[in-house]
Chain A
């Protein structure tokens, strides 16, 4: 892992005069990009993040922006703005309001479904144009490494044996993906509930788990990998149908692929989070195709591959009808899960 970090640094640091070159590059690229597509942006493209700074979606969006600039993939600048108010409702409503402005794109996470359902915000993903699924983010069940639980089964048994609400599960936000997964786990704990403690960011959850203030978390890999490598947290299982494909060692002894699926460990729950890009509703097929192609180029860069591995992302990618079918399915799944947990807002019933 050490070498991979170094090589990343070297690759990213290839040019010391980066700023100057980037400035020039924008000008050159403007002239060089062949009009292979019927449409091209005529002004700066705004990339909206429906979440605060520093989180997973924010990191990915800024990474995409950086890759586009570094590899000169777009003749116009990309402006990244955080519109995280109301669990992302702010960002989605802005997309809805600017339906005819094809210079706006948005990166989504599970709040694409959970925010309208949980808060009753008048918004549905069908009010935007899906461009491309970039990846699926994984969830892992983590405990403090000083605790005796070595497998998900041992932990679930401990929850079963304990008193109701004795075990505390920390997570990001309320009525969002982390709490949905927690509710799903509770189906297997013999009626014993967790005390779900919402925090405002995944990094904070991981640190609270290290500090022993909560008993477990379902952090995304990238949020807790540092503490895993530092021997402070232990991954119990991954909420996917199959194990991760990354076999390079992350810690001294383990790779992402060594983490069993939750199903293997007797916890038949899976959940993954969409990391996808959408544009506005009235975008033409040419406009969608332009962004789809741009993002494909982003995904072909070595920087992106490294980013995917570091965060143990599931590299499933989809466009067009497949993506829409996936979204329809995912929305129905979220509705069922949230209804079962009693998370639906009055307006979203």
Chain B
């Protein structure tokens, strides 16, 4: 096992008091960045990047990646407590995390989220440690057709899965696609649906929509419900960690599924956001508790968090071996590597052994340190819910507004956020699910470009999606998923009428 020897060398490089101090600093900063919506990990890393130019490359990347880990951990906190996803990949965490908080189990949800983040990350780092070259080759197989297949699968796994009717899910998704179209069309290079307004050049930014739909929408709903947070009177018990950990072994299947989905999406690179949605979708379909998802099931927190963190970590692999970033944060880190004089690519593992293995070792270390830090803070986070609504609600609105403003430094986005807030409230009242809209908004334009790139390459021949086993298998799986409600109905019919009632 030469990897183990190299890894031991890496630990020797990474584990110095100076580096550990940087790691702690980075994680704390990252958690703060993750908590503040709008100020995503990518922005945080970009702001701090110039500070690291005078550091050793290894120390610099340890600090920056620690910010990244911190942001990955931190995104879950506001998602669970206030239904405001601090980061795009925490949207799926709100589905069960927030209902848990409302039931007074915020501490369990937080511990579950942090622990599963950790498991996902460690799984992905292990993958990077032992399989980096092989995995990098796999990522090269992904052309536009394969990318579209993955995106199609993500959408398909959502249809018929929501709490509302499939028709409402599709309506919500279509609205998301329409919003995603606004701005520059990447394939033809012309503007569309901007109606001559300069503000719309940039399109509707996912974060602005999410902050409004979830954050402001939630505040509006709470106001209607009587100006208080449900779950606020839950007693704080110090045994949250042990209590939650006891429940986790039952979810081994979900952990494994989410780890695999997450790593795959991180490497291809699909990103942490689709990974979290897919992880949630799969768990809902295959878990014994699937029917309780959305009502505050711990497993519904574990599934997306494991997948998101596995993807976020695995995204480092294509960045290092291919020079393509698997996430926006990785894109900024990539710029950093070049500035420190390191050229990411196939030779990085050969020429810069100290750096690469130091980084990998720091991934193990960073996640252990991160877990300890956030777990210690769980009672503190959970206690925030005990602050009276009249104090915390204005604070949340202000933080949301700042977050929306930060995305583009534009006041227009703050107004957009408020509009989305009202929309979110109406959606909830009318029983339209929000997640499909959000998913379409975040993945819509990527899916569109992949589809059109694939069509350009194949000269308009749709069979390109079944032109090889990889793409064909994913597409077929996607089609099965999309029509699953019908398929399962048919299967049930054959088995006997008494089961039909259950499925429906």
Contacts and interface: CB of A to CB of B under 8 A. Distances in A.
A8 interface: yes
Interface in B270-316: none
B50 A62 contact: yes
A8 B186 contact: no
A5 B453 contact: no
A16 B21 CA distance: 13
A81 B55 CA distance: 23
A9 B189 contact: no
A319 interface: no
A292 to B, nearest CB: 22
B356 interface: no
A22 interface: yes
Given A211-B142, A226-B345, A18 B52 contact: yes
A201 B408 CA distance: 20
Interface string B50-84: 11111111010000000000000000000000000
Residue from B54, B144, B322, B323 having most chain A Cβ neighbours under 10 A:
B54
Residue from B57, B140, B339, B343 having most chain A Cβ neighbours under 10 A:
B339
B324 interface: yes
Contact of A5 (B55, B341, B346): B341
A286 interface: no
A82 to B, nearest CB: 8
A200 B459 contact: no
A53 B332 contact: yes
Contacts of B143: 208, 211, 213
Given A12-B53, A66-B49, A66-B53, A204 B324 contact: yes
A90 B54 CA distance: 32
A66 B331 CA distance: 17
Contact of B56 (A7, A13, A86, A165): A13
A207 B143 CA distance: 9
A201 B449 CA distance: 12
A85 interface: yes
B190 A118 contact: yes
Nearest to A345: B190
A85 B54 contact: no
A87 B57 CA distance: 32
Contacts of B318: 207
Interface in B445-491: 449, 453, 456-457, 459
A5 B343 contact: yes
Interface string A210-243: 1101100000001001110111100000000000
Interface stretch (A35-43, A171-179, A183-191): A171-179
A334 to B, nearest CB: 14
Interface stretch (B96-104, B105-113, B120-128, B195-203): B195-203
Nearest to B329: A53
Contacts of A345: 190
Interface string A48-75: 0000111000110011011101100000
Nearest to B348: A226
A143 B49 CA distance: 33
Contacts of A168: 456-457
B403 interface: no
B184 A87 contact: yes
Contacts of A213: 143-144, 457
A80 B203 contact: no
A15 interface: yes
A54 B332 contact: yes
A90 B191 CA distance: 12
B184 A62 contact: no
A206 interface: yes
B39 to A, nearest CB: 13
B342 A5 contact: yes
Contacts of A201: 324, 331
B335 A54 contact: yes
Interface in B128-185: 139-144, 183-185
B331 to A, nearest CB: 3
B345 A176 contact: no
Contact of A119 (B139, B189, B324, B351): B189
Contacts of B1: none
B345 A86 contact: no
A345 B401 CA distance: 36
Given A66-B339, A85-B202, A213-B143, A200 B186 contact: yes
Nearest to A165: B459
Nearest to A93: B198
A238 B53 CA distance: 31
B339 A62 contact: yes
Contacts of B52: 18
Nearest to A23: B51
Contacts of A206: 323
Interface in B316-359: 318, 322-325, 328, 331-332, 334-335, 338-348, 351-352
Given A86-B184, A226-B347, A211 B453 contact: no
A195 interface: yes
Contacts of B18: 16
A299 interface: no
A268 interface: no
A271 B457 CA distance: 26
Contacts of A15: 54-55
A306 interface: yes
Interface in A1-36: 2, 4-9, 12-16, 18-19, 21-22
B188 interface: yes
Contacts of A231: 346
Contacts of A230: 345-347
B409 interface: yes
A210 B343 CA distance: 17
A18 B189 contact: no
B140 A63 contact: no
A313 to B, nearest CB: 13
B187 interface: yes
Contact of B328 (A53, A63, A173, A179): A53
A9 B339 CA distance: 9
Interface of B: 18, 42, 46, 49-57, 59, 139-144, 183-191, 194, 198, 201-203, 318, 322-325, 328, 331-332, 334-335, 338-348, 351-352, 408-409, 449, 453, 456-457, 459
27 contacts: A2-B351, A5-B352, A13-B59, A15-B54, A16-B56, A18-B51, A18-B55, A22-B51, A53-B335, A69-B51, A80-B50, A86-B184, A86-B194, A89-B198, A89-B201, A119-B184, A168-B457, A174-B189, A175-B189, A204-B324, A210-B140, A211-B141, A213-B144, A214-B457, A226-B323, A226-B343, A227-B346
Interface of A: 2, 4-9, 12-16, 18-19, 21-22, 52-54, 58-59, 62-63, 65-67, 69-70, 80-81, 83, 85-87, 89-90, 93, 118-121, 165, 168, 173-176, 179, 195-201, 203-204, 206-208, 210-211, 213-214, 222, 225-227, 229-232, 306-307, 310, 343, 345
Given A13-B54, A53-B328, A199-B449, 9 more contacts: A12-B341, A118-B190, A119-B189, A174-B188, A198-B449, A203-B325, A211-B141, A222-B338, A310-B341
